[in-house]
Structure 1
Amino acid sequence: MRILADLPDDDVNWLDEMAQQQGKSRAQLLRDAVAAFRADMMRDWILDGASYWAGKAPPAETMARDEKPYGDKI
């Protein structure tokens, strides 16, 4: 499906530069951008954040185990 979208001249010029550098058309860059945006919007950020700590101690536990008080200089 074709669409008509108004973009500022600076954005169009940037798209043209990126298209030339990547050997793609302006339309292909826009399709790629929409696909990436959709994939990003579908991510479950809660699960991503929870998995960050998998196998790691929470920061409070890490600080409690640290023998050297913060702020002391070596």
Structure 2
Amino acid sequence: MPADDVSAIQCRLDELLTERGVTLTELSKRVGVSLVNLSVLKNNHAKAIRFSTLTAICEALECEVGDLLVCRP
């Protein structure tokens, strides 16, 4: 896939943070992932995500993977 193609997988991290009243900084501290890496994920610029990171985010936000990542055409 060319680098300029947009993935159909979208991250709802910003929405989930807002719904739960959690800041990106607070989440970073909870899950042990840098603020920069979470920001990349939140802004849909991530090329990949580790299962351990995905698990930590879902546990911290009390959500399922399908709540965080959605497929939008």
Same fold (TM over 0.5): no
Tell me the TM-score normalized by structure 1. Answer: 0.30
- The structure with more helix, counted as a fraction of residues: 1
- Scaled by the length of structure 2, what TM-score is found? 0.31
Higher RCO, 1 or 2 (CA under 8 Å, sep at least 6)? 2
